[in-house]
Chains A and B, each alone.
Chain A
């Protein structure tokens, strides 16, 4: 298993080394080929559990791991005229299985006949976070990795459906509002379920250096014939500040369910700050997540593991803009799960699939990561 994954990682590195590093390549007048990638290595100070991101199964231990952060995305954009375009993006990354997999991450047709209005139909990311859309594009983000306490909470990340976006500037304030509908699927405790009737909305306001956003995504998840419409809800609020050399960002998210409230409900938040010194941007992130329980719902915690547990992380990192098409990042962090399974840790060898993310981590874990991001 690990060898196959390493082979894919090595292939990614070889492909990247051979590709011409320009900002996208035009194929004729209407088609552009572009891509992005990250080569990253992670190591922790424990073998008790494996450290990953975004609910990856398995990851870094005292042995160096290249699959947590490495990825490669290839994108083809076609533009028929000023109001009709199509985009397909294939992304090879380790997802919730043990090995990296290539999937179509985006595949949509975009129609924008009226100024300020755009309709997309196809496969697209759900706007669950401030950087949902570009979470996998290392080059587009200051941090080496989005904090798992927030970004690891989402159980729905992508859907097949449609979204409608309206954008307009009201004087110095820019408003962007999106509504969406579609279908998806989610994995909980090792089993996949259909997430039907995914719907949501996202609103962003931008004024000068400050942008605020609020969004909600809900879905009726088909759990069993007896519970065919389990309500999953994910709400997120975010604020970003980017002026001169100062960057700051904070998000607060809530994940909820109905019948399975006491297994699913959790909150998460983080604050991040950074300062640009020329080509170097040091940054710091504090993140925290905590499950919630309510006596209004059945206490299921004695029967099943929770989807995620409490965890706090302090991270310090540095981004170096080494070239116009690439950056290098270092990040050190300490994750404290208070003796529980946390949210960043898993064990592929757990006795049952449902227990893979329920392995206790007895002591705080130190993680050290390095990554090179590039675009072409």
Chain B
């Protein structure tokens, strides 16, 4: 019984972490004029199809380094896997059409990069959002 309880608690904790990880939101700087974006608009910016925000102003996307957060973002926003995104950028960059967004490592670096640049757009865990950034899309 004790072992079962321990396992159940451990399982619940793992599940809780997994569920908490799944709350990723797309953010811009608090000093940006952008209020809200649709999934297609976010996807267009991160795939290099749109260089400006719909309402105007340059859009500078910021990625996270390879990992769970990045994979989750691309799956939820573009519907493509990490391998597909990699192949997409190989196609784009080796035909001179564009280059992938700069990437930073982790939510803290992401928040700093977004807060410092009114043109930046990125993604991080919902719980990390504070007054320096604004949520514009929640998948």
Contact = CB atoms under 8 A, between A and B. Distances in A.
B96 A279 contact: no
Contacts of B100: 23
Nearest to A108: B96
B99 A133 contact: no
Interface in A262-314: 276, 279
B109 interface: no
A89 interface: yes
A14 interface: no
Interface in A46-62: none
Interface stretch (A167-175, A180-188, A215-223, A230-238): A167-175
A136 to B, nearest CB: 8
Given A167-B49, A174-B49, A125 B95 contact: yes
Interface string B35-54: 00000100010000111100
Contacts of A73: 94
Interface in A340-376: 375
B120 to A, nearest CB: 13
Nearest to A279: B83
A193 interface: no
A134 B90 contact: yes
A137 B90 contact: yes
Interface residues of A, number: 42
B79 interface: yes
A1 interface: no
B87 A324 contact: no
Contact of B94 (A134, A169, A243, A244): A134
A48 to B, nearest CB: 36
| Size class of the B contact interface (CB-based, 8 Å) | 20 to 34
B62 interface: no
A106 interface: yes
A139 B90 contact: yes
A2 B59 CA distance: 51
Contacts of A125: 95
Interface string B42-80: 001000011110000010000000100000000000010
Contacts of B66: 324
A82 interface: yes
A34 B96 contact: no
Given A106-B96, A244-B79, A321-B83, A36 B90 contact: yes
Interface string A112-152: 10011000100011000001011011011100000000000
Given A87-B96, A115-B51, 6 more contacts: A77-B96, A108-B96, A133-B97, A167-B49, A169-B49, A174-B44
**A-B interface, 9 closest residue pairs, ranked by CB to CB distance from nearest:** A133-B95, A140-B91, A321-B83, A134-B91, A87-B96, A140-B90, A115-B52, A137-B94, A139-B90
Interface of B: 40, 44, 49-52, 58, 66, 79, 81-83, 86-88, 90-91, 93-97, 99-100
29 contacts: A23-B86, A24-B93, A34-B93, A34-B94, A36-B94, A77-B96, A79-B99, A82-B58, A89-B94, A89-B96, A106-B95, A108-B96, A112-B51, A133-B94, A133-B95, A133-B96, A134-B91, A134-B94, A137-B94, A137-B95, A139-B86, A140-B87, A140-B90, A140-B91, A140-B94, A243-B79, A324-B66, A324-B83, A327-B83
Interface of A: 23-24, 32, 34, 36, 73, 75, 77, 79, 82, 87, 89, 106, 108, 110, 112, 115-116, 120, 124-125, 131, 133-134, 136-137, 139-141, 167, 169, 172, 174, 243-244, 276, 279, 321, 324-325, 327, 375
